[in-house]
Amino acid sequence: MERMYPPRLTPGPLPRELEEHLRGLITSEATPTIPVEAPFDATTIGHVPEGGQSCVDKAFSLAREAQRGWEDTPHATRRSIVRTFHSLVLKHRELLMDMVQLETGKNRAAAFDEVMDVASTARYYAARAEKLLTPRRRQGTIPVLSSTVEHRYPLGVIGQISPWNYPLTLAISDAIPALLAGNAVVSKPDERTPFTALLVTSLLYDAGLPRDIFHTVTGPGPVVGGAIAEHCDYLMFTGSTNTGRILGETAGRRLIGFSAELGGKNPLIIAEDADLDKAVDGAVHGTISNSGQLCVSIERIFVVGSMYPRFVDAYVQRLQSIRMEAGFDWDVEMGSLASQQQLDTVTRMVDEAVSKGAEVLTGGRARPDLGPYFYEPTVLTGVTKKMELYRHEVFGPVVYVEAVADLAEAIVYANDTDYGLNAGIFAARDTALAAAPLIRVGGVNINDSYSATWGNIDTPLGGAKDSGLSARHGEEGLLKYTQTQNISEQRYLQLRGPRSLKRKTYASLMTAGLKALAVMRR
Ligand code: ADP
């Protein structure tokens, strides 16, 4: 049954009734003591409980109990719940965007990206889940005699730990395929952005999801996240590489599957045959989107030869005219950083680079006149290996640009990183298509900085090297939440041959058989 929600939110504390409703969705008996801050003006919008081990224990026990019934629920019912959820997300989009903006300080267009992502993911997996999960006949080893079928069954209860930068998308988009595959989910949103996660979960319940199939526990990462990792049957994590390593160790010890999307130091290449206007537009988008607090945002730009001065002039000029502001207005192009901690990190890294000789082409300073955590889009050049931001992710609107001799050199620089998440290349189509596979990252955007690979959800997207493990999206994004089961039948004759056959004769016959199969190219 659908609840009544306020149509919009205003700056300041959440309406009391909404806050209480959302808090009621948390699996916790603890008192609400964690303040949730609005980065636009550093005011407190509400409080959530500081959950601990016992809340996680309870969430898993209820989820495990409920999951058995959910696994047996027909595909059509699960699909219909997700489709209704899709409609509710679009219906309540203004409220969702308000909540996202209140909790993160991002601009409205970036908040809409989250709404769009959740709706697209829901639609995509609702349409495909049943087919992906239907037992699939595979090729038998010996024609006629062997028959083999790939089955899939749900893993049980999936643990999900998500960050603050995309609190709507990352609270639910990875959970949707897990739910459609017949799993329950226990989720821990970041303690800085719990209300967005709870609001979208509320819509999922309104759409008909049984309450115990999806549990949210709020609280500190190492305590609540750590306990989830110890209980779950598969762990989906998005966050920092450091936390990813800690969780990966737990997953390894427990022998459970683990999917992690972690940090990046994403390169953008501008080739000599690129369309300058499009390249500038794409670079600006990749720099300022979500104030640069995006795993896939651009932090390094390599520009080939004669393109360099023209590109840098136009890019810097465009960044200087960005409309940066607090508020819900659609025309604002960049919002705030999300917290004091983010502002401190960005400031520290830029100041360190400048103190070691980097040149600031634009930006390089905070803007307290706009809000407590605003920071200007910043372009540096002359960045060297001595500077922390040469290799480490800033996670802010901070990019360095370098001129390179040719495309081959650009690719060498692009690959000179421990990360391997995302890259973009602006070039004539043939140039880009030839260069793209040579950039060793999980996603390469041709004539774009990151949206193409993120938005085309039929292809899996994951991080190479220190940027992650496994992938979201595509078939893999759902199948990873299932156990494969090989059900095979050998008719008339066992693969090991009849008992009466001498082993040596069997070996000769099989050798001849293997040769015949190779001739048949099977
Ligand atoms: P970020 O630097 O972007 O905040 P984190 O990796 O610290 O990235 O946080 C991402 C998510 O992981 C958050 O929900 C956070 O609370 C949680 N988290 C942080 N540390 C741990 C940990 N040791 N174990 C489990 N979860 C954690």
Examine the pLDDT at 2 and tell me if it is beyond 80. Answer: no
Instruction: Report which protein residue has its CA nearest ligand 1's atom 11.
Output: 163
Q: Whose CA is nearest to atom 19 of ligand 1?
A: 221
Q: What CATH code is assigned to 266-466?
A: 3.40.309.10
What's the mean pLDDT in 234-263? 98
Ligand 1, atom 16, lies closest to the CA of: 221
Whether the predicted pLDDT of 1 surpasses 80? no
Whether 163 is in the pocket of ligand 1, judged by its Cβ within 6 Å, is yes
pLDDT at 351: 98
pLDDT mean over 77-101: 98
Instruction: Please tell me the predicted confidence (pLDDT) of residue 141.
Output: 87
Q: State the angle between helix axes of 93-104 and 75-91 in degrees (0 to 180), rounded to the nearest 10.
A: 70
Whether the CB-CB separation of 114 and 129 falls below 8 Å is answered with no
Burial label, 410 (beta-carbon count in 10 A; 0-12, 13-18, 19+)? buried
Closest listed residue to residue 104, CA positions, set 286, 270, 291, 287 = 291
What is the residue extent of each domain of the chain? Answer: 51-262+475-479, 266-466, 498-522
Cβ–ligand 1 contact at 63 (below 6 Å):
no
Ligand 1 nearest-atom number relative to CA 165: 3
Partnered with residue 381 across adjacent β-strands are: 359, 401
Residues 6+ apart with CB under 8 A from 158: 175, 178, 183, 184, 185, 186, 232, 233, 234, 235, 236, 481
Cα–Cα distance for residue pair 189/25, rounded to 1 Å: 13
* Distance from residue 337's CA to the centre of ligand 1 (Å): 18
Q: What is the pLDDT of residues 51-74, one digit of tens each?
A: 999 999 999 999 999 999 999 999
Distance CA 516, CA 146 (A): 16
CB of residue 188 inside a 6 A radius of ligand 1: yes
CB 200 within 8 A of CB 172: yes
Determine if ligand 1 sits within 6 Å of the CB of residue 246.
Answer: yes
Long-range contacts of 253-256 (CB under 8 A, 24+ apart): 254/229, 254/230, 256/232
| Residue recorded with tokens 């609190």 | 167
Q: From the CA of 226, how far away is ligand 1's center (Å)?
A: 9
Residue 265, phi then psi, degrees to nearest 5:
-135, 75
- Across the chain, what does the average pLDDT equal? 97
Catalytic residues: 261
Residue recorded with tokens 């190219």: 521
The pLDDT of residue 31 is 87
- Facing residues of 32 across strands? 49
pLDDT of residue 517: 86
- Does residue 283 contact residue 449 with C-beta atoms inside 8 Å? yes
Q: Which atom of ligand 1 is nearest to the CA of 191?
A: 16
Radius of gyration of the chain measured on its C-alpha atoms? 25
- The percent of residues in the chain predicted with pLDDT above 70, rounded, is 100
Angle, nearest 10°, between helix axes 276-288 and 307-320? 50
pLDDT in tens, 460-490: 999 999 999 999 999 999 999 999 999 999 9
The dihedral over CA atoms of 394, 471, 178, 474, expressed in degrees to the nearest 10, equals: 120
pLDDT at 143 over 90: no
What average pLDDT does range 215-223 have in this prediction? Answer: 97
Rounded to the nearest angstrom, the distance between the alpha carbon of 261 and the centre of ligand 1 is 12
190 lines ligand 1 (CB under 6 A): yes
Residue closest to 470 by CA, chosen among 129, 449, 478? 478
Q: Could you tell me if the CB of 396 is within 6 A of ligand 1?
A: no
Q: Which range, 26-35, 143-152, 172-181, is most confident? A: 172-181
Tens of pLDDT, residues 451-467: 999 999 999 999 999 99
> What is the atom index within ligand 1 of the atom nearest the CA of 395?
3
What is the CATH topology of the domain spanning 51-262+475-479? Aldehyde Dehydrogenase; Chain A, domain 1 (3.40.605)
Q: Is any atom of ligand 1 closer than 6 Å to the C-beta of 243? A: yes
Query: What's the token pair of residue 268?
Result: 């953008």
Task: For residue 228, give the ligand 1 atom closest to its CA.
Answer: 25
